[in-house]
Structure 1
């Protein structure tokens, strides 16, 4: 049996986790080009990774107000601090279908989104990743 270096095995695990975690993970650059699109996003948005990667976020999701979103990501890119969008501010960032139609009557997935800076080895922040959580169950409890 071929033994793989531990680093390679850990890298493989990380990629597998990113694809299968129950949170949407999207990496964008300062021009809003998508660089990572995980399995959660594929499943919930209906857009395959090959359809999203390399595309502009606003072309993929024209419902995202560009000026509003630019104000949200500016401190993340400029100051390196995290940003947040809760379902109470805006019900969703990405209009995704509700995948629990029997237990929840919402026509779309309510979302909480965390905007996280990605620091390069040089200390630059040229990318950020969005962590998208399904908050639909939380909304149902509040109603």
Structure 2
């Protein structure tokens, strides 16, 4: 007996979210973490049960609440994306650098995109963050500046 196609597709989606080479996080309007994928577990060392239901600011005290809330304001109020690049701030989440080729850095440089997540009625009640490892790019750029 085969599984319904919708269930199989849902299973694939969950598998992709957990195994994609990007950090994926969903936060609500209170900045509480709702989704935490495998990339974030691997790089931050924090397990989903340690972070889900807690605010970003509890889990990552290095994130300044006032600054981060300004970054999310256009996402919640205008429904548009917001960006944080490694040039503006080397990282949002202090994660160890685990790439063997680029071990010259103690932490992972990151590019972060903050995306609105719309309800069926169009309201934005959550933000989806995608975190890209930009360490190799940052190291190349820094060498060129020397």
User: Which of the five TM-score ranges fits, normalised by the shorter chain?
Assistant: over 0.9
Quote the Cα distance in structure 2 between the aligned partners of 1:6 and 1:33.
Answer: 32
Q: State the Cα distance separating 1:140 from its structure 2 match.
A: 1.3
Quote the Cα distance in structure 2 between the aligned partners of 1:111 and 1:102.
Answer: 16
1:114 and 2:130 matched: no
Q: State the Cα distance separating 1:100 from its structure 2 match.
A: 2.1
Q: State the Cα distance separating 1:104 from its structure 2 match.
A: 2.9
Secondary structure at the counterpart of residue 10 of structure 1: helix
Question: Which consecutive unaligned segments of at least 5 residues does structure 2 have?
Answer: none
Tell me if structure 1 keeps the 8 A contact 2:79–2:124. Answer: yes
1:61 alignment partner in structure 2: 60
Comparing both structures, which one devotes a greater share of its residues to helix?
Answer: 2
Q: State the Cα distance separating 1:26 from its structure 2 match.
A: 0.3
Question: Which consecutive unaligned segments of at least 5 residues does structure 1 have?
Answer: none
1:23 and 2:22 matched: yes
Q: Over the residues paired in the alignment, what is the CA RMSD in angstroms?
A: 0.9
1:50 alignment partner in structure 2: 49
2:91 alignment partner in structure 1: 92
Q: State the Cα distance separating 1:8 from its structure 2 match.
A: 0.5
What is the total number of aligned residue pairs between the two structures? 142
Quote the Cα distance in structure 2 between the aligned partners of 1:82 and 1:56.
Answer: 21
